[in-house]
């Protein structure tokens, strides 16, 4: 009775509904990214995202979650995660992570992208690129590995291998299972540990979301009880996809092509979720 939280394994039919939620989320994030321009507010990004969900008949899994007041999280510069959209005006060179989710027929999707507004600082672009590639290395490990812990090991190994100034991997915030709730067991670490975690088996759906910083990994939560910032004010990046593991392989639920283009260089061919 005091064991690990129970993992929810999905049927193929349930995972296909999650794919529907993922396709809505792709369009909503596309709209949010398009709205992220110099002079726009972070509230404008939230509004653009919300319109797509409403038009699709989907709902946000962030709005109202433990009292969260917005449709998406928009985290700017030193804000790592859970930034609340508002009247902040975006300026040239801002780096922001847009993290959102959609619910269709009770099934959740979750995805995040990093956007640089206007002219990018090369080191910010490197931060975003490495974070995105780290995510894809983690997703590839979900296809090739045996345990959930293999995902974090792959992310850690990739980030550690990148030449140039080292980037920090946040340890306080990790990926998670996803299904009829946004956050489920198991935790998906973004770094290597001695703990293997549960086996990667059909029906497991995971949100894989590395968060990297240009400086130290220590963070603090602001007085709004949501926004997490780096204590040294170094800039941050977050990338995330929801991934389904099934008997034929994996499928990235929140990528238009299921992850095919990004996974091909890593030796992985994603497979659409089979019919029952």
Q: Report pLDDT digits (tens) over 212-245.
A: 999 999 999 999 999 999 999 999 999 999 999 9
Q: Which residues are annotated as a binding site for a divalent metal cation?
A: 99, 110, 176, 209, 240
Amino acid 5: pLDDT: 79
Q: How many CB atoms lie within 10 A of CB 251?
A: 27
The owner of tokens 């400086």 is: 215
CA-based nearest residue to 102, from 145, 141, 52, 139: 52
Asked if residue 178 has pLDDT above 70, the reply is yes
What are the phi and psi torsion angles at 139 (to 5°)? -65, -40
pTM: 0.97
pLDDT in tens, 20-77: 999 999 999 999 999 999 999 999 999 999 999 999 999 999 999 999 999 999 999 9
pLDDT in tens, 108-157: 999 999 999 999 999 999 999 999 999 999 999 999 999 999 999 999 99
Q: How many residues does the chain have?
A: 276
Domains along the chain? 12-266 (3.90.230.10)
3-state secondary structure of 66: helix
Q: Which residues are annotated as a binding site for substrate?
A: 82, 183
- Contact 188/170 with Cβ under 8 angstroms? no
CA-based nearest residue to 17, from 139, 175, 178, 177: 178
- Contact 99/240 with Cβ under 8 angstroms? yes
Q: Which residues are annotated as a binding site?
A: 82, 99, 110, 176, 183, 209, 240
């Amino acid at each position: 009775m005091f064991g690990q939280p129970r993992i929810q394994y999905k049927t193929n039919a349930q995972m296909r509904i999650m794919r529907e939620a993922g396709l809505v989320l792709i369009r909503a994030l596309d709209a949010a990214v398009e709205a992220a321009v110099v002079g726009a507010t972070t509230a404008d990004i939230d509004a653009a995202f919300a319109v797509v969900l409403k038009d699709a008949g989907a709902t946000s899994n962030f709005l109202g979650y433990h009292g969260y007041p917005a449709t998406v999280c928009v985290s700017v510069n030193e804000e790592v995660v859970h930034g609340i959209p508002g009247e902040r005006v975006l300026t040239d060179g801002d780096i922001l992570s847009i993290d959102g989710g959609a619910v269709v027929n009770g099934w959740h999707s979750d995805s995040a992208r990093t956007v640089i507004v206007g002219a990018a600082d090369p080191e910010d672009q490197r931060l975003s690129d490495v974070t995105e590639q780290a995510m894809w290395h983690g997703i590839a490990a979900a296809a090739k590995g045996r345990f959930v812990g293999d995902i974090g090991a792959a992310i850690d190994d990739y980030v550690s291998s990148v030449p140039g100034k080292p980037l920090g991997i946040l340890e306080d915030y990790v990926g998670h299972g996803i299904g009829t709730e946004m956050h489920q067991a198991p935790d998906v670490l973004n770094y290597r540990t001695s703990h293997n975690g549960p086996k990667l088996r059909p029906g497991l759906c995971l949100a894989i979301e590395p968060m990297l910083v240009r400086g130290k990994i220590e963070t603090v939560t602001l007085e709004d009880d949501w926004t997490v910032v780096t204590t040294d004010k170094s800039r941050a990046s977050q990338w995330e996809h929801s991934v389904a593991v099934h008997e034929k392989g994996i499928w990235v639920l929140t990528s238009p092509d299921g992850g095919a283009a990004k996974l091909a260089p890593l030796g992985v061919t994603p497979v659409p979720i089979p019919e029952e």
